[in-house]
């Protein structure tokens, strides 16, 4: 079932768009099933769960080349449960979190002694729900104007979550907003060579996100089925 779901999504996904399989609340067996079907990038949203899965996988022969992304709200006292394991934090949603990630990276060079740079996406608040996380545009501009101060961080782009609705026009207007802001930032900060990822689109709206320049889609339930919290 998981393999079939993956294949159906891949059929419609342009080759340059990265599929991030959101495995939160799903057991390791499901991750391995997707892995055996060729999936390599997975995302988790809770530090404890991520750490547990990475440790469980460490004891196996399989899964050594999985690339983990973090996509949930990250509390600054949990950085060490997340940052050693992930290739990207997609959900940077406050200046404090960004600064703490930066300091952590500077204090924790790579095992071979090279400096560590944590790849991050800045989360833009685009949904109508006030409860959702993320920066407003001005805050992201303020940060990027000072990007040189964050030596432990690689700014790789933007992440956003559309309003939770069936109304396609509302979703489209959320994605249009982040998409045009992304273009604006890429023009303004052309020196940021890695700033090219636009992570938009989940199980119910990824096809819409493709029309607005998504370079990454984050898909959970359409691959693994409903979550059992």
Ligand X SMILES: *Cc1c(COP(=O)(O)O)cnc(C)c1O
| Diameter of the chain measured on Cα atoms | 50
Distance, in Å, from the CA atom of 227 to the CA atom of 199, rounded to the nearest integer, reads: 21
Which one of residues 202, 208, 209, 216 is an interface residue with ligand X (CB under 6 A)?
Answer: 202
Which one of residues 30, 100, 163, 203 is an interface residue with ligand X (CB under 6 A)?
Answer: 203
Closer CB to ligand X, 47 or 220, in the complex: 220
Which one of residues 5, 23, 39, 45 is an interface residue with ligand X (CB under 6 A)?
Answer: 45
Do 30 and 23 touch, CB atoms closer than 8 A?
yes
**Is residue 161 involved in binding ligand X (CB under 6 A)?**
yes
Measured in whole angstroms, how far is the alpha carbon of residue 106 from the centre of its chain? Answer: 22
**1: nearest Cα among 203, 228, 221, 201:** 221
Which one of residues 9, 22, 86, 182 is an interface residue with ligand X (CB under 6 A)?
Answer: 22
**Region of 9-17, 51-59, 108-116, 219-227 interacting with ligand X (CB under 6 A):** 219-227
What angle, 0 to 180 degrees and rounded to 10, lies between the N-to-C axes of helices 47-58 and 28-36?
A: 60
Concatenating the DSSP letter of every residue in 140-204 gives HHHHHHTGGG-TTEEEEEEEE---SSS-HHHHHHHHHHHHHHHHHHHHHTTT-TT--EEE---TT
Contacting ligand X within 46-85 (CB under 6 A)? 71-72
**Is residue 218 involved in binding ligand X (CB under 6 A)?**
yes
**Is residue 98 involved in binding ligand X (CB under 6 A)?**
no
# binding residues, ligand X (CB under 6 A): 14
Closer CB to ligand X, 58 or 225, in the complex: 225
Footprint of ligand X on this chain (CB under 6 A)? 22, 24, 45, 71-72, 161, 202-204, 218-222
């Amino acid at each position: 079932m998981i393999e079939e779901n993956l294949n159906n999504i891949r059929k419609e996904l342009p080759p340059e768009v990265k599929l991030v399989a959101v495995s939160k609340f799903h057991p390791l067996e499901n991750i391995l099933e997707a892995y055996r079907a060729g999936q390599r990038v997975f995302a988790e949203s809770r530090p404890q769960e991520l750490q547990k899965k990475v440790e469980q996988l460490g004891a196996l022969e399989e899964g050594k080349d999985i690339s983990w992304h973090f996509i949930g709200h990250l509390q600054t006292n949990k950085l060490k449960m997340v940052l050693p394991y992930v290739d990207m934090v997609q959900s940077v949603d406050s200046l404090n979190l960004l600064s703490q990630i930066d300091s952590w990276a500077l204090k924790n060079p790579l095992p071979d002694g090279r400096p560590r740079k944590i790849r991050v996406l800045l989360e833009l608040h685009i949904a109508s729900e006030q409860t959702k996380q993320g920066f407003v545009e001005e805050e992201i501009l303020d940060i990027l104007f000072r990007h040189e101060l964050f030596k432990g961080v690689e700014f790789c782009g933007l992440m956003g979550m559309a309003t939770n609705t069936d109304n396609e026009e509302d979703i489209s207007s959320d994605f249009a907003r982040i998409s045009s802001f992304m273009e604006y930032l890429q023009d303004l900060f052309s020196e940021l060579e890695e700033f090219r990822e636009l992570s938009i689109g989940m199980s119910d709206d990824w096809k819409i996100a493709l029309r607005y320049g998504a370079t990454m889609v984050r898909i959970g339930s359409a691959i693994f089925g409903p979550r059992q919290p």
